Amino acid sequence: MAKIQLSPETRAQERRRPGFALLKISGWKHAPQVSEMSIERSDSETEGKYLGLEGQWEHIPVWHALANMTTVEEGIIEADVPPAFVDPIVSVRNKSYRITLKCAEESETRTIKVGDILPSSAAGSSPESLEQGSGLILGDAVIEPVKDPEPEPTPQEIDEAIEEAPEPIAVPIAEIETESFFSRHKGKIIAALLALLLIIAGVLAWYFKLIPDFNSGKQDDKPIETSSAVNATPALTADSNLSDLELLQKFIQTKPNTEQILAQAKQWGNTGHCDAMLRLLVHSAHKSNDSAIALEYAKMYDPAEFKQTKCVDKADKDTALYWYQKAVEAGSADAKSLLDKLEKK
């Protein structure tokens, strides 16, 4: 049976400040590299019940990889967690939080025990963000050893160094000025030469390869790419080596636009990456206040628009109402019409 604790002590000395804590899990028999967890709060005062990737609360379970946790002994793993994990939990006291651990088809849910931990606001301002690695689990910090200062030389050593110093070599003034000019402008001269070579190469490539053959009377059979096709971010193909969380993080790093987000969500839905698809839509609609994404998410659950898929097996009027309202607040006229119809039912 797993036991989960959150304590103020951290593995890295520089993280022992408000907003950082040590997450310790004991009694979990699976390796952290193949384990994930979700954090759920018991009340419904916030918009969501599950802790998201950036400290926000979301409506669907968000799974955080435990790959950066360290096995300290058999059955015990631990790692530091940042303010994005700590603040949402310790800022509101007397609330119950449950953590669900899972590995493949096996899962276990336990209540987390929270120690006397201060939120990041106790430091006067939020601490600077550290590299978070995978999800909200911080890797071990690399602490450089402090080197002892070199001893100051004695007066006798200074005198000996002066006596042994070689006589200065006279250099003609013209030579000094020449070396000084090239040393000062060496970078600019190299950059100018490289730029000139690139221009020449570009002109030659354009002249010999890119000019069409007008004498042949034939045009290139390849279709001309439109600007939207050129600028589109290719959808991430399913990779059996990546979890849904890793697929989601990799895609978000490309900073996709609305059209690319909806296209990627549709592809993940067709290939059964349901967790990645649902989290992408919820995360994108919340963070960017995107009316188009909120509208599409609402229609997935609207009884009048519902179509059963691999990822959504039944309609949910309350969910549809919530996301229609989000889309209306973001300026969607279509969402207002669908919201009015749904409220009348």
Give the chain's mean pLDDT.
77
pLDDT for position 203:
76
pLDDT for position 149:
57
Name the pLDDT band for 264 (thresholds 50, 70, 90): very high
- pLDDT, tens digit, for every residue of 4-30? 998 988 888 888 888 899 999 999 889
Given a contact cutoff of 8 angstroms between Cβ atoms, the answer to whether 21 and 44 are in contact is: no
- pLDDT, tens digit, for every residue of 79-114? 999 888 888 888 776 667 889 999 987 888 988 888
Return the higher-pLDDT residue of 327 and 229.
327
| CATH entry 1.10.1740 includes domain 3-123 | no
pLDDT for position 16:
85
Q: What is the mean pLDDT of residues 322-335?
A: 89
pLDDT for position 190:
83
Q: Where in the chain is the domain with CATH 2.60.40?
A: 3-123
d(CA 345, CA 326): 19
Residue 229 predicted with pLDDT over 90: no
Return the higher-pLDDT residue of 183 and 90.
90
Residue 194 predicted with pLDDT over 50: yes
Run of H or E residues at 310: none
Return the higher-pLDDT residue of 60 and 146.
60
Residue 57 predicted with pLDDT over 70: yes
Residue 285 predicted with pLDDT over 70: yes
Run of H or E residues at 24: strand 21-26
d(CA 345, CA 333): 19
- pLDDT, tens digit, for every residue of 130-152? 444 446 888 775 444 445 556 66
d(CA 46, CA 59): 10
pLDDT for position 284:
84
Residue 240 predicted with pLDDT over 80: no
Q: Where in the chain is the domain with CATH 1.25.40?
A: 237-344
Name the pLDDT band for 127 (thresholds 50, 70, 90): very low
What's the Cα-to-Cα distance from 85 to each of 69, 278, 323, rounded to whole Å? 14, 21, 26
Fold of 237-344: 1.25.40
